[in-house]
Amino acid sequence: MKLLLKGGRLIDPANNIDEELDVLTAEGKIATVGQNLSDSEAEVIDVKGKIVTPGLIDMHVHLREPGQEAKEDFLSGTKAAAAGGYTTVATMPNTSPVVDNAALVRALKKRAVGVAKVRVEIIGAVTKGQKGEEPAEMGDMIDAGAVAFSDDGHFIKSAKLLLNALDYLKPFDKTIINHEEETTLVEEGVINEGVISAKLGMKGRPTVAEDIAVARDIMLAEYAKAKVHVAHLSSGRAVEIVRAAKQRGVQVTCEVTPQHLTLTEEAVNPADSSTKINPPLRTKWDTEMLLEGLRDGTIDIIVTDHSPHAYEEKDREYAYAPSGFPGLETALGVLLTDLYHTGKLDLTTIIAKMTCIPAKIFQLPGGNLAVGRPADIAVIDPEMTWQVDPAKFYTKGSHSPFSGRKLKGKAIMTIVGGKIVMKDGVVA
């Protein structure tokens, strides 16, 4: 099957392209990119006035398999991904059981091939059971196809264990993605520690917990001359720590979410647990520092931390509700509305941090529309206005802090391996 996308504005940061070009796909790959293309065998798709980009990549999602399918599964989660313009997602290992061995990695990869609408990469645990006590079978998991490792949701308390893991992974050229919060400083905390937490009488999680953890893990990576990736930055001070480390030549990369870029602690409503996330929403200063970190390259990629929960779990008193909400279907719209259309961030930067840069960091084949690459493509209407309605989500999660918001900009087509998997919001 061939597809010919005609007349769109092609933005392909990996190849420094931003111009009106046609894209022809054949046999699941990019066949030709150029002007005035034609092919009698191809299905012609008019994308004039739209933006054509590499398919979006999200390196931090929770698809909840195995064992937590009431929250999400590979089918519902990848339908949500396709609806949001994503063609590749990487699922975290904090499942039941934890993905800490090669057999599970293989089983999940096989499962994804059978049911997933987009490409699914598997992230393995750093420690057995994510208990932080002994290393997991990382070498075996790499052989089985794991692309990275993380104890996400858990800070690895033992510096010695983390140092050993960093050393171990160097020959494999794989990255550890670290959840950064010093646990003794955040126990029982539910929102950012500060004026708002004091006013609401809610126990806080201070930014210094993140700062200390980020600094420690960067120093361990520097000592080991190894790679480390900081998950979901939320603290402005942590951005400064990462920036200084990069200037010293440390192999540190990091990520940020749309929610930490666009929402602050002011959004917290004790009657609505959708804003309960981990790390929590911070101050306006923190969001400004995160945005500056995106602009200057300190922050490498944008992820969603897509974390759906069953309705009855999330619909509880704020302090007792689990952290997280589904983000795959709202991320692009929020970023375009609050950052691009306001002039805070240019379109090429947003796309690069959601395509070619994560592909480069984690050594993935996508994120690039050069000839011969996988035909993983997103078509975006930057002017399309729409309203967030969780009742229409493909994900099983229904709590979102963006619920009811009118957004401007949306993916209108998602192509994976040359096959249209989403068109006009409908996932095939």
Q: Which residues of the chain have pLDDT under 70?
A: none
Q: Is 73 a catalytic residue?
A: no
Q: What is the pLDDT of residue 6?
A: 98
Q: What is the pLDDT of residue 251?
A: 98
Q: What is the pLDDT of residue 330?
A: 98
Q: Which residues of 182-212 are buried (b: 16+ CB within 10 A; e: fewer)?
A: beebbeebbbbbeebbeebebebbbbebbbb
Q: What is the pLDDT of residue 280?
A: 98
Q: Cα separation of 23 and 17, whole Å?
A: 12
Return the CATH number of 2-51+374-427, one of 2.30.40.10, 2.102.10.10, 2.50.20.10, 3.40.640.10: 2.30.40.10
Residue range(s) of every CATH 3.20.20.140 domain in the chain: 55-361
Q: Is 257 in a helix, a strand, or coil?
A: coil
Q: What is the pLDDT of residue 423?
A: 98
Q: What is the pLDDT of residue 323?
A: 97
Q: What is the pLDDT of residue 208?
A: 98
Q: Which of 22, 73, 152, 305 is catalytic?
A: 305
Name which of 403, 181, 198 is nearest 314 in CA terms. 403
Q: pLDDT tens digits, residue range 256-307?
A: 999 999 999 999 999 999 999 999 999 999 999 999 999 999 999 999 999 9
Q: What is the pLDDT of residue 375?
A: 98
Q: What is the pLDDT of residue 149?
A: 98
Residue range(s) of every CATH 2.30.40.10 domain in the chain: 2-51+374-427
Q: Find the distance separating the first CA and the last CA of the chain, reported in whole Å.
A: 16
Alpha-carbon separation of residue 255 from 228, 238, 283 (angstroms): 12, 12, 18
* Residues 354 and 364: beta-carbon distance below 8 Å: no
Tokens of 319: 């302090």
Q: What is the pLDDT of residue 111?
A: 97
Note if the bond before 401 is cis, omega within 30 degrees: no
Q: Cα separation of 338 and 259, whole Å?
A: 11
pTM above 0.95, yes or no: yes
For residue 91, the surrounding DSSP H or E stretch is strand 86-91
Beta carbons within 8 Å of 222's beta carbon, 6+ residues apart: 245, 248, 250
Q: What is the pLDDT of residue 201?
A: 95
| Length of the chain (residues) | 428
Give residue 402's identity as a one-letter amino acid code: F
55-361: what fold?
TIM Barrel (3.20.20)
Q: What is the pLDDT of residue 295?
A: 97
Give residue 292's identity as a one-letter amino acid code: E
Beta carbons within 8 Å of 65's beta carbon, 6+ residues apart: 72, 73, 74, 91, 95, 108, 111
